[in-house]
Amino acid sequence: MEQKVMNQPIISALEKFTELDEKISHFNSISGLLSWDQKVIAPKKGRPIFAKASSTLRTEAFKLSVSEGMGELLSTLSSPEAEAYLDEAAKAKVRERLNFYNRSKSIPAEMIKEFSVLTSQANDAWEEARENNDFQHYLPYLERIVDFKRKSVEIYGYENHPYDALLDEYEPGLTVEKLDPLFDKLRKSSTNLLKRIQNATYEPRVDIFEQAFSVAKQKEFNRYILPLIGFDMNAGRLDETVHPFAQTVNTGDVRITTRYLENNVRSAIFGTIHEAGHGIYEQNIDQQFEDSVLQEGASFGIHESQSRFLENMVGRSEEFWKHFYPKLQEHYPEQLGNVGLDEFYRAVNSVQPSFIRVEADELTYNLHIMVRYEIEKALIAGEIEAKDLPAIWNSKMNEYLGVTPSNDSEGVLQDIHWSFGGFGYFPSYSLGNLYAAQILNKIKADIPEFYGSIEKGDFAVIQKWLKENIHQYGMLYTPNELIVKATGEELNADYLVEYLEEKYSKVYKL
Amino acid sequence: MEQKVMNQPIISALEKFTELDEKISHFNSISGLLSWDQKVIAPKKGRPIFAKASSTLRTEAFKLSVSEGMGELLSTLSSPEAEAYLDEAAKAKVRERLNFYNRSKSIPAEMIKEFSVLTSQANDAWEEARENNDFQHYLPYLERIVDFKRKSVEIYGYENHPYDALLDEYEPGLTVEKLDPLFDKLRKSSTNLLKRIQNATYEPRVDIFEQAFSVAKQKEFNRYILPLIGFDMNAGRLDETVHPFAQTVNTGDVRITTRYLENNVRSAIFGTIHEAGHGIYEQNIDQQFEDSVLQEGASFGIHESQSRFLENMVGRSEEFWKHFYPKLQEHYPEQLGNVGLDEFYRAVNSVQPSFIRVEADELTYNLHIMVRYEIEKALIAGEIEAKDLPAIWNSKMNEYLGVTPSNDSEGVLQDIHWSFGGFGYFPSYSLGNLYAAQILNKIKADIPEFYGSIEKGDFAVIQKWLKENIHQYGMLYTPNELIVKATGEELNADYLVEYLEEKYSKVYKL
């Protein structure tokens, strides 16, 4: 038999690559901690000063990621000869670093610099425009951002639709061709369901939330449920910020935030469960991926699936409240003592079309995303122009949600995303819901006592399933590989459509 | 007239040096934040994982500090031709970076690596030895550490005494020749004063502290006084740790910690004032030194002078308590309602020789330092050996403080410093007291209403003096230059000797 000769240059490249990948990952892990610190606890006067130091570190990590040395290592390690020397994890690391390298190197440095100045100005202009309800003030910046994005997708390249190049940044491998039929089905069934809900005779008693709920008790209740639903308090923190978020430092240090509003008890509860979903995901990534590019969740969409699954499929289920409602009532005997479980469950699942995405319910949220997805796609393809957005926005809102914003501030100007050039980001939210429903379908098949466990307050069996089938893999698989591996099929909109149909038929007694 | 030709290589070196210095300073500022985070708030499971990431950053900063590139820049910029191109700050930056470069490069990398392994083992051995009162268990490690230190001072080089090379690390420019007469005078007068105090007929009522003081109220009181004495809460934080410390991120972000003990109300009050002294120093360094090696205090000794000045000269003065005691009594009417101001003031200044340095009062603290200084000096000079330390320690404790530890755990094993090789560090504490008293003398001359301001609770005039004469300069001047600039003379032990004499004559009615 022929003895295979070890290929020394490949072995040496792999060693150097692993070391470089680890260094970049360490710098990114530190940057994550710094970002959390400056948002959550740093004293006011230190923040502008510290911005320079953290920028130095981020720049260093970026430079290493696109360095000539990295380019050479990636070229060696992605060659066919290297195949046999790389295990699954090493291949995934090379895949992810190569993606970033190619994407970052494709745009000339001069263009990136200009764009960075532009988005900084655009963000200010957007803030002013929203405050003054003055879309025209923002328009010139938005036009230049769209122009940049149109140019950059031509540089990145794409097979069919120019928007594919942007989708790929947030959901690697996803294309308009794949996404259109999914979103079409979801949009049609959701608008239809919404109409039936609006015609329903039953209406949940949302007035029960129009009371003051002591913030101190909200904190107590949130800190009570957080570890019970699977968030490891020895591997994370819960703090307060105006805009809640999750930030990973490493698998033993995942920090989530929430906010407490006395006049909105739902905000903190479901916000905390949502961020816990993100956090539990990252706490359960296999430690073998620590110190590497694979130390994060698979994609924006998969990440969002975990937060939405926990917030909506688990946290808004009747069984969840069968378990936790008595405790909540104990905290608020005056406010909820006379409100039955059934009333409460229906109230937390009420549907009310509104202008503002971030305040939307589980059903109409996706319709907000459809408005944005369709606009982004047409903009990038050059089928519409930035100046047309207010009119198109309002018309789509009216068509899908049956409401027309009375001004641009509560319409086309409401989101920050476009001001930093985040085209391609919005679909992740609905992708999260689609993934989540498909996962729910599979988990119910694998664990027949799924809802029974929730009712008993036993989340361990569910978290075990999620860890084994999703969480542990980090970024080892692409999102498509991961969902196929976990559920046996590619992403399919039917599960979410059926889930919403079933849930709201029950809530609204349709 | 001759036109001076610009020396392009020097100008270019200065630019590169400034950039490199900024990068290293940014990395160090980040490392400071990371260290604070991991000690104070990071979740338990994340800490061992994060240690790798923060080590990567520290290593990177170290590598840049001793890189060939840095060496070349320093060589260019410290040449006589460069003199004319460097302003005062640039010269100071070159001085500091060169010191670090020379010190770090002098010891062979192999020796540093070995020493790092050794100190890690030595630390474990020291902990075990202290716990089991077993000096012999620690001895072999201590012997090797002393051996390393003896070798390294030979490599660093020194003019007169080998210990000078170690002093220089903590107090640049200080030598045994300068320090011996200062410490001799202090030791003699302190042992003499201590004997007179022990023979005094009056004794402060320290039993007033043997009561429970609610921790919640301690927190309230500490948070009340902290901003009043000059600590800017918008440029810093106060948190809790078992071992209090101060950590600077930048001038707008200085984080101090304290600890609250129900059975020891003095601990948090004076601990907080002490750390505030460190913190106020760093908050008031001129922003022009931000992002550079000069962004810190001038030396360990000067830093300690600021904490001791605020804790002892200000915080333990009668006028301080004339102002704050009524407030403290309001917090603790049961415990202090019947204790007069005079009794309280004398009680917080009571003297009681003990075995343990960190629990020592203002007078005997320096005697603890003398024991350590004399032992370190003789050890490094080869006049004594590590195995002799327990006997020497106990004999000196008896000679200076009149107490003999009953075992090594409360004697020679009490401090961590030697286990990490920190020879040369201890003198900083007493240097701090010497500097502080000399500063007090000058500030009283410049501000005749010094104590009157304290009594009125007006600390602004004092902090303004400290900022103008000490704080603003950061590391621009060497400690000796700074004390001469601030007080008009070199360090002189008379001021501390007189201060202690005067204070304790009053407290103990001598």
- pLDDT tens, position by position, A459-504: 999 999 999 999 999 999 999 999 999 999 999 999 999 999 999 9
Q: What angle do CA A271, A451, A275 make, to 5 degrees?
A: 15
Q: Are A94 and A65 in contact (CB under 8 A)?
A: no
Q: Are B252 and A57 an interchain contact pair (Cβ–Cβ within 8 Å)?
A: no
- Report the residue of chain B nearest A55, measured CA to CA: B26
Nearest to B249 among A46, A57, A287 (CB): A46
**B85 within 8 A of A291, measured Cβ to Cβ:** no
Among the partner-chain residues B29, B56, B251, the one whose CB lies closest to the CB of A53 is B29
The pair of structure tokens assigned to B255 is: 């984080």
Q: Which residues of B touch A21 (CB under 8 A)?
A: none
Position B7 scores a pLDDT of 87
**3-state class of A256 per DSSP?**
strand
What is the average pLDDT score of chain A? 96
Q: Which of B115, B109, B146 is nearest to B423 (CA)?
A: B146
By Cβ distance, the residue of A37, A48, A52 closest to B26 is A52
The DSSP secondary structure of B318-378, one letter per residue, reads: HHHHHHHHHHHHHH-HHHHTTS-HHHHHHHTT-----S-GGG--TTHHHHHHHHHHHHHHH
Annotated active-site residue in A96, A275, A296, A318: A275
Which of A30, A34, A49 has the CB atom closest to B251's CB atom? Answer: A49
Let me know: does B274 contact B254? Beta carbons within 8 Å: no
Chain B interface disruption, residue of A29, A59, A231, A283, most B CBs within 10 A: A29
**A233 CA: distance to closest CA in chain B (Å):** 8
The predicted structure's pLDDT at residue B152: 94
Q: Averaged over A435-442, what is the pLDDT? A: 98
**Predicted local distance difference test score (pLDDT) of residue A1:** 44
Q: What is the dihedral of CA A64, A67, A73, A79, to 10 degrees?
A: 120
Tell me: the pLDDT tens digits for A386-406?
999 999 999 999 999 999 999
Q: Which residue ranges in chain B fall short of pLDDT 70?
A: 1-5
What is the identity of the amino acid at B240?
E
Chain centroid to Cα B171, Å, comes to 11
Asked if A400 and A430 count as a contact pair (C-beta separation under 8 A), the reply is no
- How would you class A245 by CB atoms within 10 Å of its CB: exposed for 0-12, middle for 13-18, buried for 19 or more? middle
Strand partners for A254? A236, A248
Indicate if the alpha-carbon torsion angle A273, A278, A284, A287 is positive or negative: negative
The alpha helices in B229-317, defined as continuous H runs, are 265-283, 300-308
What's the pLDDT at A2?
A: 46
Residue A467: φ, ψ to 5°: -65, -50
Check CB contact under 8 Å for B49 and A22: no
Q: Which of A23, A27, A37 to mutate to test the interface with B (most CBs of B within 10 A)?
A: A37
Rounded to the nearest angstrom, the minimum Cα separation between A219 and chain B is: 19
Pick A253's closest partner by Cβ from B25, B50, B236: B50
The Cα–Cα gap between B240 and B160 comes to 44
pLDDT by residue (tens digit) across B42-95?
Answer: 999 999 999 999 999 999 999 999 999 999 999 999 999 999 999 999 999 999
Q: Please choose, from the candidates A249, A227, A37, the residue with its C-alpha nearest in 3D space to the C-alpha of residue B45.
A: A249
Nearest CA distance, A37 vs chain B (angstrom): 9
| Cα A358-A481-A475 angle, rounded to 5 deg | 65
Q: How many CB atoms lie within 10 A of CB B232?
A: 18
Distance CA B439, CA B469 (A): 10
- Please give the radius of gyration of chain A, using alpha carbons only, rounded to the nearest integer: 24
Q: How far is A471 from chain B (nearest CA, A)?
A: 18
Contact B74, B11 (CB under 8 A): no
| CATH code 3.40.50.12160 for B206-351+431-493 | no
Contacts of B49 in chain A (CB under 8 A): 250-253, 287, 290
Collect all residues of chain B within an 8 Å Cβ-Cβ radius of residue A252. 43-50
Amino acid at site A415: D
Rounded-to-10 torsion of CA B316, B321, B324, B329: 110
Q: Say if the Cβ atoms of A43 and B233 lie within 8 Å.
A: yes
Query: For chain A, give me the number of helices (H) and strands (E)?
Result: 21, 3
| CA dihedral sign of residues A440, A181, A164, A382 | negative
Q: Are A158 and A165 in contact (CB under 8 A)?
A: yes
B396: left (phi over 0), alpha (psi -120 to 50) or beta: alpha
Question: What integer pLDDT is reported at residue B1 of this predicted model?
Answer: 43
- pLDDT, one tens digit per residue, over A191-223 is 999 999 999 999 999 999 999 999 999 999 999
The total of other beta-carbon atoms located within 10 Å of residue B15's CB is 11
Residue A6: what pLDDT?
A: 77
DSSP string of A113-179, one letter each residue: HHHHHHHHHHHHHHHHHHHHT-HHHHHHHHHHHHHHHHHHHHHH--SS-TTHHHHHHHSTT--HHHH
List Cα–Cα distances, A462 to A50, A314, A471, A479, B2, in angstroms.
41, 10, 12, 20, 84
Q: Which contacts (CB < 8 Å, 24+ apart) does range B87-93 have? A: B88/B476, B89/B288, B89/B289, B89/B292, B89/B294, B89/B476, B90/B14, B90/B18, B92/B294, B92/B475, B92/B476, B92/B477, B93/B17, B93/B18, B93/B21, B93/B292, B93/B293, B93/B294
Half-sphere exposure of B464 (CA within 13 A, CB side): 8
Nearest to B440 by CA among B268, B350, B310: B310
- Taking a C-beta distance cutoff of 8 angstroms, is the pair A20, A73 a contact? yes
Q: Do A45 and B253 touch (CB under 8 A)?
A: yes
- Radius of gyration of chain B from its Cα atoms, rounded to whole angstroms: 24
DSSP3 helix / strand / coil % (chain B, rounded to 5):
70, 5, 25
Q: Which residue type is seen at A199? A: N
* Pairing relationship of beta strands B253-258 and B246-250 according to DSSP bridges: antiparallel
Element housing B239 (H / E): strand B236-240
Q: Annotated catalytic, A385? A: no
* Distance separating alpha carbons of residues A233 and A240, to the nearest angstrom: 15
User: B61: nearest CA in chain A?
Assistant: A57
**pLDDT tens sequence across A208-262:** 999 999 999 999 999 999 999 999 999 999 999 999 999 999 999 999 999 999 9
Q: How many whole angstroms separate alpha carbon B354 and alpha carbon B310?
A: 23
Contact B46 A22 (CB under 8 A): no
What is the mean pLDDT of the segment spanning A318-339? Answer: 98
Distance from CA of B233 to the nearest CA of A (A): 8
Pairing of strands A253-258, A246-250: antiparallel
Q: What are the Cα distances from residue B258, in Å, to A187, B328, B461?
A: 57, 18, 26
Exposed e or buried b per residue across A2-14, where buried means at least 16 C-beta atoms within 10 angstroms of its C-beta: eeeeeeeebeebb
**B26 contacts A252? CB cut-off 8 A:** no
Q: Where are the domains of chain B?
A: 8-106, 170-202+353-428, 206-351+431-493
Q: Hey, CA dihedral for A281, A286, A291, A292, is it positive or negative?
A: negative
The answer, yes or no, to whether residue A4 has pLDDT greater than 70, is: no
- Asked if A53 lies within 8 A of B232 by C-beta distance, the reply is no
* Chain B, nearest residue to A61 by Cα: B57
Q: What order of strands is seen across the sheet that includes strand A253-258?
A: A236-240, A253-258, A246-250
Indicate yes or no: CB of A56 within 8 angstroms of CB of B23.
yes
Closest CA to B194 of B359, B430, B353: B353
Residue of B nearest to A25 (CA): B53
> How far apart (Å, rounded) are the C-alpha atoms in residues B320 and B304?
20
Task: Provide the pairing of β-strand A253-258 with A236-240.
Answer: parallel
Please tell me which of the candidates B25, B29, B37 has its beta carbon nearest to residue A37.
B37
The alpha-carbon gap from A322 to the nearest alpha carbon of chain B, in Å, equals: 32
For A262, the 3-state DSSP assignment is coil
3-state secondary structure at position A193: helix
Mutate to test the interface with A, among B45, B232, B287 (most CBs of A within 10 A): B45
Which of B41, B43, B233 faces A252 most closely, judged by CB atoms? B43
Please name the residues in contact with A152: beta carbons below 8 A apart, sequence gap of 6 or more.
A106, A107, A111, A165
Instruction: Give the pair of three-digit tokens for residue A234.
Output: 């020895």
Residue A60: its chain B contacts at CB < 8 A?
A: 23
A446: closest CA of chain B, how far (Å): 31
CB contact under 8 A, A45 and B249: no
Residue B424 backbone zone (phi > 0: left; psi -120 to 50: alpha; other: beta): left
Residue B59's closest chain A neighbor by CA? A23
Q: A43 vs B291: CB contact, 8 Å cut-off?
A: no
Bridge partners of residue A253, in order along the sequence? A250
Task: Please report the pLDDT score of residue A5 as a whole number.
Answer: 66
What's the pLDDT at B4? 59
In what order do the strands lie in the sheet containing B246-250? B236-240, B253-258, B246-250
Cβ contact A43–B237 (<8 Å): yes
Q: Which of A45, A240, A257, A292 should one mutate to test binding to chain B, selecting the residue with the greatest count of B CBs within 10 A?
A: A45
Estimate to the nearest angstrom the gap between the alpha carbon of B464 and the chain centroid. Answer: 22
